[in-house]
Amino acid sequence: MSDPAGFAAARPPERPDALAGLNAAQREAVLITEGPLLVLSGAGSGKTRVLTARLAHILTQRLAYPSQILAVTFTNKAAREMQERVAALLGGPAPSLWLGTFHAMAARMLRRHAERVGLKPNFTILDTDDQLRLLKQGMQGLKLDEKRFPPRALGAAIERWKDRGLTPDKLPPEEAQAIAEGKAARLYALYQERLLALNACDFGDLMLHCLGLLTAAADVREAFQNRFRYILVDEYQDTNVAQYLWLRLLAQKSRNLCCVGDDDQSIYRWRGAEVGNILRFERDFPGAAVIRLEQNYRSTPHILGAASGLIAHNAGRLGKTLWTAAEGGEKVRLTGLWDGAEEARAVGEAIETFQRQGSSLSEIAILVRAGFQTREFEERFIVLGLPYRVIGGPRFYERAEIRDAIAYLRLVAQGDDDLAFERIVNQPKRGLGPASLLALRQQAQRDGIPLSAAAAAPAAGGGLKPKARGTLARFLGDIARWRDLMAASPPGALLQTVLEESGYADMWRQDKSIEAPGRLESLKELVAAVEDFATIESFLEHVSLVMEIAARPDEDLVSLMTLHAAKGLEFDTVFLPGWEEGLFPHPRALEEAGAAGLEEERRLAYVGITRARQRCLISFAANRRVYNQWQSSLQSRFVDELPEAHVERQGEPGLALGHYAIGGAAARDPSLAADRFDYARWAQSGVGLRSRGAAPAPALTTESEASPFPLGSRIFHEKFGYGRVMAAEGDRLEIEFEKAGRKKVVDRFVKPA
């Protein structure tokens, strides 16, 4: 066997032991080199170590040259990690190795044979903005109204088709007819034609073109089948249909396909992932070996026991049970609380307790099911001075839709705010193009006046057309009307009015993109946040403080993220709030996919629990304000599915939570009998749940039934906590809060303590 360039450099002078430190199952996964192999790797079981050891073993045993190995991952981070580990085992890099993401490997393959699919080797890969621009051109040709058929929604539909390996001529008729007045197939075809004309493709095309190439060109298919003696795949449970078909075609000759994955961690169905790919592996590849990596090196026995007991309720799984050689550890803490604000306080004070005990904030994470949940925690951390970061997305007040809404409030409160004016004068679209805005800015600069004043001037910009002047006049009239409402309307009601009358909320309702529902949820959460303040001015001052604190650099930060974003991460302490029906499992998942959706939601819960190394704290609330509406909540069905042997239940004395009631706590632990629940003890002591059958707690309301609060009376505010009334004027109270300092609030947002 000749030695191609790069192999000699890849093999170190002394052969490393790729098997060193592996357990029996991991060694077996490395040593079975011939034939199809499925490695079911549970959370924290060392799958990356197995993949890299297998790759190194193949090379050090000279079973293949680096150029004969294809190793694919889902993220650039995973690819870099594998490259570094392989280099460490081999004593140097293997440059000719085909190792990278699916898209990177497909692009590499496609550039070698671009002409076969109508492209040139130097083709361009378009970003999202360019894709949308091209799609809009096609929509104009087909006379499709962008307001009725949002381009992002149509782009998402095309992306889903590409993920399934469907070209325009292969679309199911019923799907094509159901979208864009039956013009979806034609739009898709026009879009693809335009891409080819521009010598360009989008990310979906990388896999789609490769799939078409391998299917239609027998010589190319055979060349790649002969090249790749070994194929290794990471996170196989997350593959879509196109990726699955691509891998099957490449592995037909050697059949040396090793797929590593965990069917219990398949949580990306909404992104095109098909859990069936891993579930039917043995049927697709007869004679395949299946190895289960069940020894966990991350979590305590109780955490693993809770996670395994929960996921066992899924029917669609291959089955495995995680275990660990470690002993001891805390049980999973399950806590019921009155409401979402109480939950945020509990989490915040528990974190402070852990911090005092020596825990690093960077080893603490809060994992939520829905993005809107982060707001209450962010607000609480600001009050406590706990530094944090939001992973996988911006902080609440940094989100584009929140900045837009706040810009509206800024302009209503202060008409001279040019930055706010520029941000929202054409948001939503009002027909004011760049030329109109430039003319307006030029006039404002010439006259030394704010943009709003320039827009109101009789000669408004000189160069402005009558239509633009009319648009500006209506916009300014709206701002003036909302300003008049400030004195009479509560801040939350005012913001709701602004969002509706401006058309901003409706803009997102009409948007069919995947991000639109989340943006609407954020806006509803903002309305709820604004209601906590007596005036718009006090809210805007609060936001300024939040942004100032957010800008401070600090390395030791609590992590806030969604459960989806937490995949692949691990922390010493994990909080899992909001385990309630109507939130988790998420109703949208149940509506769209029924039983399959429920199983994916349960897998998501499993992923959340298994992120924890030492502590896992789950919480649910009897009442929660969701999108500015208070609702009573039953604890999630997942709570009932947690095995009792691994769970410690606790909660406030006398609290009725759905069909569970927590009581008798003060009798068992006198420290809990104080008028304020000791949240720090959440991390220290257990309080048992009483029997089922208690009456559910009444829903909280936003209306106070109390008479005017006397001076000195002790009250409770859902956001700021406990405090005393220092002054009162009408329905406005000035309160000295124990944690948040002195605030002015409307009396309907407080209750006697």
Q: Which of 52, 101, 192, 265 is catalytic?
A: 265
Q: How many residues are listed for the chain in this entry? A: 753
Question: Kind of pairing, strands 388-390 and 647-651?
Answer: unpaired
Other CB atoms closer than 10 Å to residue 112's CB: what's the count? 13
Rounded to whole angstroms, the Cα distance separating 264 from 601 reads 11
Check the CA dihedral 118-120-121-127 and report its sign. Answer: negative
The torsion angles phi and psi of 739, rounded to 5 degrees, stand at: -110, -35
| Cross-sheet strand order for the sheet of 655-657 | 655-657, 660-662, 689-692
Retrieve residue 212's tokens: 């078409």
Query: Can 234 be counted among the known catalytic residues?
Result: yes
DSSP 8-state symbol, 580: B
Query: Can 47 be counted among the known catalytic residues?
Result: yes
Q: How far is CA 202 from CA 139, 182, 205, 390, 577, in A?
A: 18, 23, 5, 29, 38
Question: Which residue reads 């949940």 in tokens?
Answer: 373
C-alpha closest to that of 500 among 520, 473, 486, 516:
520
The torsion angles phi and psi of 617, rounded to 5 degrees, stand at: -120, 110
Q: Which of 369, 375, 603, 611 is catalytic?
A: 611
Conformational region of residue 249, where left means phi above 0, alpha means psi within -120 to 50, and beta covers everything else? alpha
Other CB atoms closer than 10 Å to residue 641's CB: what's the count? 15
Q: Which of 33, 48, 225, 497 is catalytic?
A: 48
Question: Which residue reads 């993920």 in tokens?
Answer: 163
Long-range residue pairs from 675-681, CB within 8 A, at least 24 positions apart, any chain: 675/753, 676/722, 677/346, 677/652, 677/653, 679/345, 679/346, 679/348, 679/349, 679/350, 680/349, 680/350, 680/352, 680/353
Q: Which of 234, 264, 274, 531 is catalytic?
A: 234
Query: Can 410 be counted among the known catalytic residues?
Result: no
Query: Can 14 be counted among the known catalytic residues?
Result: no
List Cβ neighbours of 199 (8 Å cut-off, separation of 6 or more): 119, 120, 122, 123, 124
Other CB atoms closer than 10 Å to residue 284's CB: what's the count? 16
List Cβ neighbours of 538 (8 Å cut-off, separation of 6 or more): 743, 744
Q: How many helices (H) and strands (E) does the chain have?
A: 29, 24
Coil, helix or strand at residue 389: strand
DSSP bridge partners of 230 = 69
Retrieve residue 519's tokens: 């943006």
683, 719 contact by CB (below 8 A): no
Query: Can 511 be counted among the known catalytic residues?
Result: no
657, 697 contact by CB (below 8 A): yes
Rounded to whole angstroms, the Cα distance separating 154 from 163 reads 14
Rounded to whole angstroms, the Cα distance separating 584 from 590 reads 10
Other CB atoms closer than 10 Å to residue 191's CB: what's the count? 20
Retrieve residue 581's tokens: 């029906």
Query: Can 124 be counted among the known catalytic residues?
Result: no
Question: Kind of pairing, strands 332-339 and 612-626?
Answer: parallel
687, 649 contact by CB (below 8 A): yes
Other CB atoms closer than 10 Å to residue 672's CB: what's the count? 17
Q: Which of 163, 202, 205, 235 is catalytic?
A: 235
* Catalytically active residues, by annotation: 47-48, 234-235, 265, 611
